[in-house]
Structure 1
Amino acid sequence: MTVASISAVALFATACGGSDDSGDSGGGTGGEIIAKGCEPENPLIGGNTGESCGHDIVELFTSTLFRYDPETSEPIADLAESVETEDNQNFTVKIKEGVKFHDDTEVKAKNFVDAWNYTANSENAQYLAYFFEPIEGYEDVTAEEEGAKPAKSEMSGLEVVDDYTFTIKTSEPVSNLPIRLGYTAFAPQPDSFFEDPEEFAKNPVGAGPYQLTEWSSGQQAVLEKFADYGGGAAKGNLDKITFRIYDDEEAAYNDLLAGNLDTLDNLPASALVDQQYRTDLGDRWAQEEYPAIQTVTFAPADVDPKYDDTKLRQAVSMAIDREKIITDHFDGAREPATGWVAPGVEGFKEGACGEYCEFNPEEAKKLLDEAGGFEGRMTISYNADSDHKPWVTATCNSIREALDVDCVAQPVTTFAQFREQIGDEEMKGMFRSGWIADYPHIENFLTPLYATDGSSNDGNYSNKEFESTLEEAAQAEGDESLALYQEAEAMLAGEDFPAIPMWYYTATIGWSENVSNVKVSQASGRPDLLNATANN
């Protein structure tokens, strides 16, 4: 049998920083730091954590078959000994022997299979269930009606062969399946998880390089190095990492300057203006592109029908002066988006959005008139615990000036509340949305966000032709597969325009004098804490 290809991803990112070595001098193993955190949307379970606030923590205390290299974003073996296939439909997975969970039980094949079945089962209402859709039998563990009992509790496509081997059968060939398996949704769970998942979530256990020793919602998460970590990807340098939960990025930045915080994943807009952060931090900053996109999503039609018109949506997009907003509020540290997929992933192609992502007030007004105009006030909601107010306000101003329609920025106190309102379909109008690659492939920017049952399809978008093309792309290989994914992305521009591409992210991070070797992780756009070192 041949081993499935899981690499061949080159990220076209240009790194820069206050110093050539990003603080490489000094530091070693040991020590502790305080990192900026934010309130997770859901309990800290791999299959239920699909946003960055929770993922920052979960990725440190869990392990998966692969882990994404922080410098290249390529998958590297963590718990996997091998993943083999001859047809991209039947996979044999062998895991490393002797690897321990933090509760001192051994990681076995059944811990993967049981965890995946649990996450996929609709009775358990796990946020990332959709990631298991390619596996044969997924439809049997997913009830069509909410609250109904599914036909089966286990997917037929998963089978334990022995303690260290299991097989995966997908319903159709999936050429990029192995590259997906490094996402935390695919983390194994110890036997104790299945005894009482709700109680387990209060003190979750994984098999990662760090173990969670304290979790106080709204306050902090404390992780300490796991001496018996048996994965092969990254052991970590620091003895202890404390995520302090902030709901104000300005407060976090001030703490960084005062030496009360050691790493900050996102500098506030005020620090970006005129590159003030360079004066404040000296050489303790880094800036680098990574695969992530900022979008603005329209509420589902049954939640707010006023926006349910393709021409109206295209008009709003063309009314936004992305270049000016980026210059005024990010000091140029963003790149105007030309499509729904971010650069730096396999299959990225520029220009999918076409003219609809270009600032053109005259054409925007014409499209709005063709759509029958807009009555009332447009709104763009955002979470107020991060620094979104300036650019959301500027976006509304641009829309107002171009379309002669009132538009206001609408804050929601915390990210957790913001996501809850979206998930409960209570949020009307438009709302900020964004996506960081879970794995470096074009499919990850399309299926979760725009497939009918996608885990993060916040606008409830559904298009049969789009999904049919996604299915064809998944079954094809190489350039043919990528071309089909690109074809699917292009459909978003002309068919329904479910979300407005705004810009591609550039991470600008900062750190204190207490820490060295801090770099931007290409896998997440956050500080790479596994390779950071403490100066204390």
Structure 2
Amino acid sequence: MKKNRILATTAGILAASLLLAGCAGSGGGAPEGSGGAGNPEAIVTTNGTEPENILIPTMTNEVGGGKILDLINATLVYYDVDGAVQNELAESITPNEDASEWTIKIKPGQKFSDDTEIKADNFIKAWNYGANPKNGHLSGYFFEPIEGYSADEGKDVPELSGLQKVDEHTFTVKLKEPTSDFGLRLGYSAFAPLPDVAFDDLEAYGNAPLASGPYMLAKDGWEHNVKVDLVPNPNYEGPRTPKNGGISIVFYATQDAAYNDLLANNLDVLDALPDSAFGTYEDELAGRSVNQPSAVFQSVTIPNIDHFTGEEGKLRRQAISMAINREEVTDVVFSGTRTPASDFTSPVIDGWSDSLPGNEVLKFNPEKAKELWAEADKISPWSGTLEIGYNSDGGHQAWVEAVTNQLSNNLGIEAKGKPYAAFKELRQEVNDRSIKNAFRTGWQADYPGLYNFLAPLYATGAGSNDTDYSNLEFDKLLAEGAKATSVDEANKHFEQAQTILLEDLPSIPLWYSNVVGGWSESVSNVKFGWNSVPVYYEITKN
């Protein structure tokens, strides 16, 4: 499952690549007449989930930890509400002619929350540590374009040869090959700096990290499995200045419980409403809700378990995909707040297409599904129950039950949901490869580009590649797209790469998610960004 600046570029192509297609909009907003400065000391409460890992940027690839990291960390650039790139810690980010080397200048005088200055070394050390295969960080893959990166598991690569310090506030990044959208990626939390003290004891630091962003942890701010309390960081001088007295992120066991608190004005902002409220929330929240497209993709993933390897596995995944009536689920369960998927990305991203060759595998065709399942049975007769794992704290039960009922009816098998109490528990089994059933997966874009939906999830060795999927032709097309000198050229390669995914189905696309959220009577100036996340620093409390 989970963010950039105006770049100093040498070509118009590069500048154009940093803008999101404008269909996401600025979202929510406050009810008419409810604006105003509010109380700058008041704490805003919102929902969240217990982070899977300690709060180290490169160790986090899920939304529970990502939400916190995006608030306490600044990056070189950030993405505004519409997905446009804006400078944050960077003074300038300048590529050479073919975008194979980038010069990054940091604004002098910016500080961590302990008063130490943020310098080039803080980026270089953090990126080197996160990229070192020996450290096994989940987001290490994001440093793959940099010269010297190695994907060899366990190999000790303490320094990336492509990172070179120029002076206290300047460093260069030499890439293995031209990468036109590298600057666009630098707003992702994995690229955040770390203070020197972090490396004294990374475990201790990750439980009580310093801040470079608009917020910092309150004293004893992380109460595990309960909440995280954040307060404004007085040393932050960037553009995301808080207009409130802090953010309290409460970890709810269910979305229904969070929604009930929202209705009672005991919770200020809820970023995902439960499906049980889809038919009533517009009336119940009376103008305090949003339903808008976002860069979020949902799927079902099946690991390499019995009956799901080789040609048999490919046939069964295709059969499952065609046995799912996505239109019915999005209409009945989600009341039109989801859109059936026609690819592996998102309609709000520039370059998206709903007419990729091979995407008929995502269309409901129960007759063909039965044929494919029968072909797979000739290889090895099916036995057992098909289970889809889901986290109960994420509001997934209704759609999982609907989908498993469809699979049972259309394939003539027994299928059912397998609930996990918390997202963290599900992801632990996925990450340690102990999971023995299908499971729900989702992806919230890190930055507004097609590449971000493809490389982290399906490239060989990628940190969020949940099934260790590997296809060398797919990898080659990704690489060709990454080094293209225009967005249109890059997207053509990414389209070709998706045709391979549509055949192999390393995950089974389900639907694109709208952000369907709401807020209480106690807050104003609520906006939801291109990636479905509320713009927390803009929220004011009455």
Normalised by the size of structure 2, how large is the TM-score?
0.93
Matching residue within 107, 118, 121 for 1:107:
118
Tell me if the contact between 1:83 and 1:93 (Cα under 8 Å) persists in the aligned partners. yes
Paired residue secondary structure (1:356): helix
Number of matched residues? 523
Paired residue secondary structure (2:211): coil
18-27 or 36-45, which deviates more: 18-27
Q: CA deviation at 1:347?
A: 2.1
- Closer/same/farther in 2, CA of residues 219 and 442 from structure 1, 3 Å limit: same
Paired residue secondary structure (2:122): helix
Paired residue secondary structure (2:320): helix
- Closer/same/farther in 2, CA of residues 475 and 34 from structure 1, 3 Å limit: same
Q: CA deviation at 1:48?
A: 1.1
Quote the residue 1:229 is aligned against: 236
CA deviations over 1:219-257 (Å, ceiling 9, x no partner): 1111111122122x3112111111111111111111111
The one-letter code matched in structure 1 to 2:73 is: T
The one-letter code matched in structure 2 to 1:234 is: R
Tell me if the contact between 1:91 and 1:169 (Cα under 8 Å) persists in the aligned partners. yes
Tell me if the contact between 2:20 and 2:84 (Cα under 8 Å) persists in the aligned partners. yes
Cα distance between partner residues in 2 of 1:390 and 1:88: 47
Quote the residue 1:506 is aligned against: 514
2:295 equivalent to 1:286: no
Q: CA deviation at 1:31?
A: 1.9
The one-letter code matched in structure 1 to 2:534 is: P
Tell me if the contact between 1:21 and 1:517 (Cα under 8 Å) persists in the aligned partners. no
Tell me if the contact between 2:18 and 2:181 (Cα under 8 Å) persists in the aligned partners. no
Quote the residue 1:528 is aligned against: 535
Q: CA deviation at 1:22?
A: 9.5
Tell me if the contact between 2:26 and 2:529 (Cα under 8 Å) persists in the aligned partners. no
Paired residue secondary structure (1:457): coil
Identical positions, percent: 41
Residues 391-402 of structure 1 mapped to structure 2, 5 A cutoff: 391-402=399-410
Residues 300-449 of structure 1 mapped to structure 2, 5 A cutoff: 300-301=304-305, 305=309, 309-352=313-356, 354-372=359-377, 374-449=382-457
Cα distance between partner residues in 1 of 2:118 and 2:190: 16
Tell me if the contact between 1:22 and 1:285 (Cα under 8 Å) persists in the aligned partners. no
Cα distance between partner residues in 2 of 1:96 and 1:299: 45
Quote the residue 2:62 is aligned against: 51
- Closer/same/farther in 2, CA of residues 307 and 41 from structure 1, 3 Å limit: farther
The one-letter code matched in structure 2 to 1:217 is: H
Aligned CA RMSD, in angstroms, stands at 1.9
Quote the residue 1:88 is aligned against: 99
Tell me if the contact between 2:27 and 2:527 (Cα under 8 Å) persists in the aligned partners. no
The one-letter code matched in structure 2 to 1:56 is: K
2:527 equivalent to 1:519: yes
CA deviations over 1:269-307 (Å, ceiling 9, x no partner): 1101x2x11222112111111111101011135896499
Gaps of 5+ in 2: 1-8
Cα distance between partner residues in 2 of 1:377 and 1:306: 20
Q: CA deviation at 1:516?
A: 0.6
- Closer/same/farther in 2, CA of residues 374 and 285 from structure 1, 3 Å limit: same
Quote the residue 2:498 is aligned against: 489
Paired residue secondary structure (1:2): coil
302-311 or 222-231, which deviates more: 302-311
Quote the residue 2:180 is aligned against: 175
CA deviations over 1:373-420 (Å, ceiling 9, x no partner): 532211111111111011001000011111111101001111111000
Paired residue secondary structure (1:138): coil
Tell me if the contact between 2:61 and 2:138 (Cα under 8 Å) persists in the aligned partners. yes
CA deviations over 1:293-328 (Å, ceiling 9, x no partner): 101011135896499521211110010011111111
Tell me if the contact between 1:301 and 1:307 (Cα under 8 Å) persists in the aligned partners. no
323-332 or 57-66, which deviates more: 323-332
Quote the residue 1:64 is aligned against: 75
Paired residue secondary structure (1:507): strand
The one-letter code matched in structure 1 to 2:206 is: A
Cα distance between partner residues in 2 of 1:230 and 1:505: 34
Matching residue within 464, 471, 474 for 1:466:
474
Matching residue within 253, 264, 277 for 1:258:
264
Tell me if the contact between 2:27 and 2:290 (Cα under 8 Å) persists in the aligned partners. yes
Matching residue within 22, 27, 43 for 2:38:
27
Matching residue within 149, 155, 158 for 2:160:
155
Gaps of 5+ in 1: none
Cα distance between partner residues in 1 of 2:335 and 2:126: 44
Q: CA deviation at 1:93?
A: 0.4
Cα distance between partner residues in 2 of 1:64 and 1:476: 25
The one-letter code matched in structure 2 to 1:484 is: H
314-323 or 118-127, which deviates more: 118-127
- Closer/same/farther in 2, CA of residues 145 and 114 from structure 1, 3 Å limit: closer
2:136 equivalent to 1:131: no
Tell me if the contact between 1:83 and 1:178 (Cα under 8 Å) persists in the aligned partners. yes
The one-letter code matched in structure 1 to 2:314 is: T
Paired residue secondary structure (1:330): coil
Cα distance between partner residues in 2 of 1:180 and 1:282: 38
310-319 or 28-37, which deviates more: 28-37
- Closer/same/farther in 2, CA of residues 22 and 416 from structure 1, 3 Å limit: farther
Paired residue secondary structure (2:409): helix
2:214 equivalent to 1:206: no
Paired residue secondary structure (1:201): helix
Tell me if the contact between 2:308 and 2:314 (Cα under 8 Å) persists in the aligned partners. no
Quote the residue 2:5 is aligned against: none
419-428 or 305-314, which deviates more: 305-314
Cα distance between partner residues in 2 of 1:154 and 1:298: 36
- Closer/same/farther in 2, CA of residues 417 and 307 from structure 1, 3 Å limit: farther
The one-letter code matched in structure 1 to 2:92 is: S
The one-letter code matched in structure 2 to 1:235 is: T
Paired residue secondary structure (1:472): helix
Quote the residue 1:40 is aligned against: 51
Q: Runs ≥4 in structure 1, deviation > 4 angstroms?
A: 14-23, 301-308
Cα distance between partner residues in 2 of 1:174 and 1:99: 28
Q: CA deviation at 1:17?
A: 5.6
Quote the residue 1:295 is aligned against: 299
Tell me if the contact between 1:22 and 1:516 (Cα under 8 Å) persists in the aligned partners. no
The one-letter code matched in structure 1 to 2:493 is: L
- Closer/same/farther in 2, CA of residues 328 and 23 from structure 1, 3 Å limit: farther
Q: CA deviation at 1:184?
A: 0.4
Tell me if the contact between 1:30 and 1:533 (Cα under 8 Å) persists in the aligned partners. no
Quote the residue 1:188 is aligned against: 193
Tell me if the contact between 1:247 and 1:414 (Cα under 8 Å) persists in the aligned partners. yes
Paired residue secondary structure (1:508): strand
Q: CA deviation at 1:26?
A: 6.4
Paired residue secondary structure (1:84): strand
- Closer/same/farther in 2, CA of residues 26 and 117 from structure 1, 3 Å limit: closer
436-445 or 471-480, which deviates more: 471-480
Paired residue secondary structure (1:83): strand
Cα distance between partner residues in 2 of 1:194 and 1:19: 42
Cα distance between partner residues in 2 of 1:145 and 1:34: 40
Matching residue within 243, 249, 254 for 2:255:
249
